[in-house]
Amino acid sequence: MKKYVEIKGYSDDFIPQHIFECGQCFRFARLQDGSYTIIAKGRVINVSQNQESIFLKNATDNDVADIWYDYFDLGTDYSKIKTALSVDKHLNESVKYGNGIRILNQDLWECIISFIISANNNIPRIQGIVERLCQTYGDEIKAFDNTYFSFPDAERLANIKKEDLSFLRAGYRDSYLIDAIQKVSSGEVSLDGIKNSNTNEAKNQLLKIKGIGNKVADCILLFGNGRSETFPVDVWIKRSIGTLYSEEMKDLSVHDFARAKFGDLAGYAQQYLFYYMRENSSGGNKNG
DNA sequence: CACCAGGCAAGCC
DNA sequence: GGCTTGCATGGT
């Protein structure tokens, strides 16, 4: 079996650093050579890239067809999206900076749990909590002479109690996690139902879970359910939109303004903006 | 010591 | 509907 797959044709529309450091994903590690080892879809792969090609180590052609083509959103033309967004002066700056960003199609359940944890939290600590959850309840995955752990599904977690989660050190989010596990494992909130609903209905289903509000629901829909028209508004986006477009947005909310301005490309616009603002904030503090 | 972190729920009005 | 407050934990 071949140990890696080479994919040509994406040029600078695919830069692992931009894809994984832009805040959409929590289970990755940057290696010294600049490549990224990631855990997703029950697999572990290493992702690198040069001018001509993307390299996926520990993946086969079949894996690419079945999993990674969709995961990395390889069917979407990001050059086209970037050209369209760059008409706007501020987006032009952000797109130039994060030109290798792609919005991943991650696992819906993993996004539900991860973004519940993300609320009022910082990215390094979110990553630590997610890893502890996986190490305790996930399946072992052997790869690259190491042991990794898959993200446990809702059924696997169905019988745990709030007291069992203290090792996560997730604080008050424990009860939110329990509510998500209970509602999804019981079918009260159906993952397939969310996937098969329109965006409004999908969001209403997510909002039934404690710990999921507007912003977390939008992140889940964007990163775990392919709803690229959603525009999650967090503190960074609120700040940046508020200053960059202060006159233009008039009396609209940040969310409504962005949805009107960027239309079906709102989710992409959000990621380019978020990455640019975070990486270029004064003091350069990113808690990591 | 204070303040912050990809917000949210609950309690007000 | 909108606005305020408390919130576990860990870092600076």
Interval A215-258: pLDDT, tens = 999 999 999 999 999 999 999 999 999 899 988 988 899 999 99
Provide the whole-model pTM. 0.97
The reply to whether A166 Cβ lies less than 7 angstroms from strand C is yes
Which one, of A139, A140, A138, A1, lies nearest residue A59 by Cα? A1
Work out the average pLDDT over A115-125.
97
**Can you name the CATH fold of A235-279?**
Endonuclease Iii, domain 2 (1.10.1670)
The reply to whether A238 Cβ lies less than 7 angstroms from strand C is no
b/e A59-89 (16+ beta carbons within 10 angstroms → b): bbeebbeebbeebbbbebebeebbebbbebe
| CATH code of the domain occupying A4-75 | 3.30.310.260
Instruction: Evaluate if residue A152 carries a pLDDT over 80.
Output: yes
Work out the average pLDDT over A83-94.
97
* pLDDT, position A251: 87
Which CATH architecture fits A108-225? Orthogonal Bundle (1.10)
Q: How far is the CA of A189 from the C1' of C8 (A)?
A: 27
Interval A136-149: pLDDT, tens = 999 999 999 999 99
The reply to whether A234 Cβ lies less than 7 angstroms from strand B is yes
* pLDDT, position A284: 45
The reply to whether A124 Cβ lies less than 7 angstroms from strand C is yes
Measured distance CA(A189)–CA(A206) in Å, rounded: 8
Where are the domains positioned within chain A?
4-75, 108-225, 235-279
* pLDDT, position A3: 87
Is A178 within 8 Å of A161 (Cβ atoms)?
Answer: yes
Instruction: Evaluate if residue A192 carries a pLDDT over 50.
Output: yes
CA angle, A40 then A41 then A43, to 5°:
70
Average pLDDT score over chain A: 95
- For A247, residues 6+ apart whose C-beta sits below 8 A from its C-beta are none
Q: Do A4-75 and A108-225 show the same overall fold?
A: no
Measured distance CA(A267)–CA(A246) in Å, rounded: 20
What are residue A36's DSSP bridge partners?
Answer: A30, A47
Place of tokens 């993200």: A151
Which one, of A165, A187, A185, A184, lies nearest residue A175 by Cα? A165
Work out the average pLDDT over A109-122.
98
Measured distance CA(A288)–CA(A285) in Å, rounded: 8
A140-143 and A146-149 strand pairing: antiparallel
Is A211 within 8 Å of A116 (Cβ atoms)?
Answer: yes
